[in-house]
């Protein structure tokens, strides 16, 4: 437990200081986030022009702080590196670098879309499948589709199917977090709740190895759950430190570097803790956000590009255009995210209680 708190505390402090440094650094460069005034269908978007030029790429501090917090915690005796956690961090860094390239292009060209926007989805999908394949071939990760543990429901699938499934999870979650990152602190706050949930889940698995962990002689289970809890706590702490500066009115945005990195971390924590299907609830707000985009696009095309289901998607902009102040949308969406996470943890604990009974 001390290692978990230590990881979160180190990450929080590094993120708090590191984000402040990034704000000063990017302000001195004199360039910041370009703000979109009309969407791809020439519809007016929510009024955020006053945010034009705000420093971006704050996700560098989130990812960097989490890696530092996780690594330094292992100085403590009894905390050992696990192959799954290291692959997870590798995936997060790779996704973050892809987002960083896109962020740099946006800032340099002064437009809301980077050079990769037409092909970024394909690149992200390919990287997601590649990471899933690496995870499957180099670790003893459970190759089942699971809900609260490896044998619930425990659908064993062939290697190819599992890799495609896991790759899709990583791809979908990174995009969902990226879509959610549209208001000050919205993505960071909801991600914090998700990482807190995975900290609890991983630590619960550590304390109950006969049910969840990969015990000697077992074929399935969570491998080194304590290390996974340290990873989750590191990202939770990093999000807290970043939110100090990202809370409305934001002094810095996380950018794609943060959104893609956070999304990859959340998805891979679900994979490594055998809570694949539970991720839908843990990231319930992100599912709602990206779902609103899909519904908007489908309805718009089905009506001959004449009508829209929402005033604007993602759905947080719909409520802005309906008259809700930005801070009201953010806080209410945090509450919604908290309810989703609470439901996910309730289902997880209920399953544990049922097994004990």
Contact 273, 116 (CB under 8 A): no
CA pair distance 153, 259, nearest whole angstrom: 30
Q: Residue 134's CB: how many other CB atoms inside 10 A?
A: 14
pLDDT digits (tens, 9 = 90+) for 318-335: 999 999 999 999 999 999
Q: Count of alpha carbons within 13 Å of 86, Cβ hemisphere only?
A: 7
* Confidence at residue 46, expressed as pLDDT on a 0 to 100 scale: 52
Euclidean distance between CA atoms 75 and 194, whole angstroms: 26
Question: pTM of the entire structure?
Answer: 0.93
Q: Say how far apart CA 64 and CA 22 lie, in whole Å.
A: 12
Per-residue tokens: 258 = 């943060």
Of the candidates 188, 192, 191, the one whose C-alpha atom is nearest the C-alpha of residue 252 is 188
SS3 content of the chain, % helix, strand, coil (to 5): 65, 5, 30
Enumerate residues 6+ apart whose C-beta is below 8 A from 75: none
Q: Is the pLDDT of residue 117 over 70?
A: no
pLDDT digits (tens, 9 = 90+) for 273-295: 999 999 999 999 999 999 999 99
The predicted-structure confidence for 204-226, as pLDDT tens digits, reads as follows: 999 998 898 765 545 678 989 99
Q: How far apart are CA 278 and CA 153, in angstroms?
A: 12
Q: Is the pLDDT of residue 1 over 60?
A: yes
Residue 152's closest CA among 144, 160, 162?
A: 144
**62-76, 101-115, 130-144, 168-182: lowest mean pLDDT where?**
101-115
Q: Please, are residues 259 and 177 in contact by the beta-carbon 8 Å criterion?
A: yes
Poorest-pLDDT segment among 14-18, 46-50, 128-132: 46-50
pLDDT for the residue numbered 220: 74
Got the DSSP string for 212-267?
A: SB--TT-SSSBSSHHHHHHHHHHHHHHHHHHHHHHSSSPSS--HHHHHHHHHHHHH
Distances, alpha carbon 228 to alpha carbons 6, 265, 273, in Å:
14, 11, 8
Alpha-carbon gap, residue 23 to 218, rounded angstroms: 49
User: Is the confidence at residue 250, as pLDDT, over 80?
Assistant: yes
**Count of residues for the chain?**
357
Phi, psi of 17 (to 5 degrees): -75, -40
The phi-psi region of residue 56 (left if phi > 0; otherwise alpha if psi is between -120 and 50; otherwise beta) is beta
Quickly state the pLDDT bin for 265 (edges 50, 70, 90): very high
Q: What is the pLDDT of residues 27-86, one digit of tens each?
A: 888 766 666 554 544 444 555 656 667 889 999 999 999 999 999 999 988 789 999 999
Average pLDDT, the chain: 90
**Residues above pLDDT 90, as percent of the chain:** 73
pLDDT of residue 111: 66
**What is the structure's pLDDT at 154?**
81
Residue 40: predicted pLDDT: 45
Nearest-angstrom CA–CA distance, 3 and 226: 9
CA-CA-CA-CA dihedral for 220, 223, 225, 231, to nearest 10: -130
For residue 314, what is the DSSP state?
S
Q: How many helices (H) and strands (E) does the chain have?
A: 12, 2
Exposed, middle or buried by CB within 10 Å (0-12, 13-18, 19+), for 72?
middle
Look up tokens 């460069």; give the residue. Answer: 29
pLDDT of amino acid 42: 46
Mean pLDDT within 84-101: 96
Q: Per-residue pLDDT for 257 more than 50?
A: yes
Q: Which residue has the tokens 């539970």?
A: 278
Q: pLDDT value at position 54?
A: 87
């Amino acid at each position: 437990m001390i290692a978990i708190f230590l990881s979160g505390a180190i990450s929080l402090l590094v993120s708090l200081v590191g984000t402040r440094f990034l704000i000063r650094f990017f302000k001195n460069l004199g360039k910041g986030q370009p703000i979109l005034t009309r969407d791809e269908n020439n519809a007016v978007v929510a009024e955020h022009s006053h945010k034009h030029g705000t420093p971006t790429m704050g996700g560098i501090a989130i990812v960097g702080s989490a890696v530092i917090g996780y690594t330094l915690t292992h100085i403590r005796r009894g905390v050992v590196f696990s192959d799954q956690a290291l692959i997870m961090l590798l995936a997060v860094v790779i996704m973050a670098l892809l987002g960083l390239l896109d962020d740099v292009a946006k800032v340099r060209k002064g437009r809301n879309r980077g050079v990769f926007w037409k092909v970024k989805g394909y690149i992200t999908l390919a990287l997601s499948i590649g990471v899933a394949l690496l995870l499957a071939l180099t670790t003893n990760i459970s190759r089942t589709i699971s809900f609260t543990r490896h044998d619930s429901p425990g659908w064993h699938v062939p290697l190819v199917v599992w890799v495609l499934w896991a790759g899709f999870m990583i791809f979908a979650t990174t995009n969902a977090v990226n879509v959610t990152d549209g208001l000050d602190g919205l993505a960071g706050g909801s991600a914090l709740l998700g990482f807190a949930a995975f900290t609890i889940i991983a630590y619960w698995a550590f304390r109950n190895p006969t049910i969840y962990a990969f015990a000697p002689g077992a074929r399935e289970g969570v491998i080194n759950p304590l290390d996974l809890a340290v990873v989750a706590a590191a990202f939770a702490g990093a999000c807290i430190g970043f939110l100090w500066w990202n809370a409305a009115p934001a002094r810095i945005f996380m950018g794609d570097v943060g959104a893609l990195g956070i999304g990859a971390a959340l998805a891979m924590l679900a994979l490594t803790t055998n809570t694949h299907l539970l991720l839908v609830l843990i990231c319930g707000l992100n599912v709602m956000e990206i779902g609103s985009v899909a519904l908007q696009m489908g309805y718009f095309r089905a009506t001959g590009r004449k009508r829209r289901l929402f005033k604007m998607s993602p759905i947080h902009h719909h409520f802005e255009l309906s008259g809700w102040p930005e801070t009201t949308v953010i806080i209410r969406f945090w509450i919604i995210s908290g309810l989703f996470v609470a439901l996910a943890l309730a289902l997880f604990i209920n399953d544990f209680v049922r097994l004990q009974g």
